Amino acid sequence: MRNDVVAVASDHGGFEMKGEIVKFLEEQGCDVLDLGTDGPDSVDYPEFADAMAAAIRDGRCDRGVLFCGTGIGISMAANRHRHIRAANCRDVTEARLSRAHNNANVLALGGRTIGIEVAKDCVHVFLKTEFEGGRHARRVAKMSD
30 catalytic? Reply is no
Told to check if 64 binds ligand RB5 by CB under 6 A, we report no
Catalytic residue of the set 30, 61, 68, 89: 68
122 catalytic? Reply is no
| Chain-centre distance for alpha carbon 19 | 14
DSSP string for 9-47: EE-GGGHHHHHHHHHHHHHTT-EEEE----SSS---HHH
d(CA 127, CA 113): 21
Told to check if 69 binds ligand RB5 by CB under 6 A, we report yes
Told to check if 50 binds ligand RB5 by CB under 6 A, we report no
d(CA 7, CA 56): 8
Q: Contact region for ligand RB5 (CB under 6 A) — 25-33, 50-58, 70-78, 79-87?
A: 70-78
d(CA 81, CA 74): 12
Member of 7, 68, 114, 122 binding ligand RB5 (CB under 6 A)? 68
Told to check if 119 binds ligand RB5 by CB under 6 A, we report no
Q: Point out which residues bind ligand RB5 (CB under 6 A).
A: 11, 13, 45, 68-70, 72-73
Active-site residues, by number, are 68, 101
